[in-house]
Amino acid sequence: MRVLFASSEVFPLVKTGGLADVSGALPAALIEAGQDVRVLLPGYAGAMAKAENKQPAGSLGDPLGVGAEARLVSATLPGSGVPVWLIDCPELYDRDGGPYQDANGFDYEDNALRFGLLSWTAAHLCTEGSPLAWRPDVLHCHDWQSGLAPAYLKAWNVVDRPATVFTIHNIAYQGQFPPDTVSRLGLPWDMYTMAGLEYWNTLSFLKAGLVYSDRLTTVSPRYAKEIQSAPFGCGMEGVLASRAADLTGFLNGADYGVWNPADDAYIPHKYQPADFVAGKAANKAAVQAELGLAQDPEAPLLVIVSRLNDLKGMDLVLSVMPAILQQGCQLAVLGAGDHSLEDGFQAVAAVNPSQVAVSIGYSEPLAHKLMAGGDMLLMPSRFEPCGLTQLYAFRYGTIPVVHVTGGLADTVVDTTYDGLMTATATGFAFEHANAGAFQWTIERALDTFRQKDPWRKVQSSCVCQDFSWNRSAERYIALYRALAG
Ligand code: ADP
Ligand code: GLC
């Protein structure tokens, strides 16, 4: 089966979150299972620099009238060798800042064109006009940035088109633009209706993906149900409920080639997951030293590796800080996001430097060190489509403390008496996203932490969890087969 992925982020070329991890690791698992998968992404400057085996692969012309020719470049992903195509168009993609926002955190004004071109190219590669001989059986789009691709196929009336699958990684991000974007992107006005591209007087890339794709998936079974009602659907619940028969939730996997303490180039003390005690202690001491925290093996080290926003429940963390610091905890935060939350965390760290360390920004090495050195990973997300960091934490013997939602509900088993006795408990979970419930759950975790045996028992269950990608890959392959023979 030939499958074309279209995604705005692919690890290790460009990453702001879990979408990149999935777009890098799932194709590798599908290829391993015998499928012919290629990934299309924008040729951001950083991605172009990191991609290996680059070759020109043909011209795309200037379909959206940006005043410059776009060219396709074929390449491979470092590490896995997964084949990719980058859209080389420096006018749109060679920018200071991230994939979506400038260095000051503002969305680029021409994001409709930048991701319109990604969508247009994904669709174009499925037609006779493609500069490539390779044609997909399935076009698999991810999140709003590639949502217009199925709409282009519909608009062009492509008869012999591939099957289309659209995966929702996070429904809160929708890609809405003013109505005149419709003609700017060469789409016909008769598709700008309530049953099509229009959403509250805007053009919605996400809605286009939801309406015009053959099948919809999301990244956990629980989230697939949640988004069919408010508030989880973020306004798309009606559209999704009408497509309930075509919507499935497949849990994401963890790439143990990247996230494995036995073989992690970023951590100072490697250890086998099954033999974590000494290794974790050494990594914890190293984190405390690197971040200037008190060198105290007994102080519970709580870690966060996350985008900093209210969806991730980071305001709840700030609310419970006084109480958890009073309990003698240490907190190490790595993240970036809302400036008010960044300032809030930095202010707490300034007053309590031996207990709180805050690193604002993006750091792959520190993310790995915190996974290895932490005792608990805090994830009080209000919504969490899947969440990957809790899966990584498991493998390092770091116990997640989570709100029961989306993929967190599907992957973390609360430490109840039964959970402990049956060795199924893998974390601490709370039902209601409020500071009181979160604080009480951290305190419950701290009680267990202080009694070393049950804590070790939960850690032992965590490290045994297997969320390898091959299981999810089989589910996607079955879906592709059902659609495209
Ligand atoms: P989301 O995609 O919603 O951000 P996930 O848990 O699915 O959440 O994935 C987050 C990914 O991004 C993980 O690989 C995590 O390690 C990484 N990550 C998040 N913030 C940072 C950061 N500041 N530095 C390094 N990696 C980060
Ligand atoms: C999104 C979600 C996250 C999920 C990731 C990969 O960014 O917020 O929960 O794990 O996509 O699917």
The answer to the question of residue 270 being in a domain is no
Q: Is the pLDDT of residue 122 over 90?
A: yes
The answer to the question of residue 448 being in a domain is yes
Query: pLDDT tens digit string along 408-448?
Result: 999 999 999 999 999 999 999 999 999 999 999 999 999 99
Counting ligand 1 atoms within 8 A of each CB, the residue from 389, 390, 403 with the most, and so the one to mutate, is 389
CATH of the domain at 431: 3.40.50.2000
pLDDT of residue 485: 75
Q: What is the mean pLDDT of the chain?
A: 97
Collapsing DSSP to helix, strand or coil, 84 comes out as strand
118 and 167 together in one domain: yes
User: What ranges in 187-229 are assigned the alpha helix state H?
Assistant: 205-212, 221-226
Report residue 121: phi and psi, to 5°. Answer: -65, -40
The answer to the question of residue 271 being in a domain is no
The domain tally of the chain equals: 2
Q: For the chain, give the number of residues.
A: 485
76 and 204 together in one domain: yes
Distance of CA 291 to the CA centre of its chain: 26
Atom nearest to 386 CA in ligand 1: 7
Confidence of residue 105 (pLDDT cuts 50, 70, 90): confident
111 and 205 together in one domain: yes
Q: Is the pLDDT of residue 159 over 90?
A: no
Q: End-to-end CA distance of the chain, in Å?
A: 9
Is the beta carbon of 253 within 6 A of some atom in ligand 2?
no
Query: pLDDT tens digit string along 183-211?
Result: 999 999 999 999 999 999 999 999 999 99
Is the beta carbon of 19 within 6 A of some atom in ligand 2?
yes
Nearest CA to ligand 2 atom 5: 18
Average pLDDT of the segment spanning 81-106: 96
pLDDT of residue 97: 92
474 and 421 together in one domain: no
Place of tokens 């699958």: 165
Give the angle subtended at the CA of 144 by the CAs of 22 and 61, to the nearest 5°. 100
pLDDT of residue 245: 97
Is the beta carbon of 142 within 6 A of some atom in ligand 2?
no
The answer to the question of residue 343 being in a domain is yes
249 and 294 together in one domain: no
441 and 474 together in one domain: no
Print the domain residue range for 397: 277-463
295 and 238 together in one domain: no
Single-letter amino acid, residue 93? Y
Query: pLDDT tens digit string along 207-247?
Result: 999 999 999 999 999 999 999 999 999 999 999 999 999 99
The answer to whether 374 and 287 are in contact (CB under 8 A) is: yes
- Which residues neighbour 261 within 8 Å (Cβ) at sequence distance 6 or greater? 267, 270, 271, 272, 273, 276, 279, 371, 372, 395, 396, 397
Phi/psi class of residue 296: alpha, beta or left (left: φ > 0; alpha: ψ in -120 to 50)? beta
- Give the predicted TM-score (pTM) of the model: 0.97
d(CA 331, CA 177): 40
Atom nearest to 311 CA in ligand 2: 8
375 and 305 together in one domain: yes
444 and 474 together in one domain: no
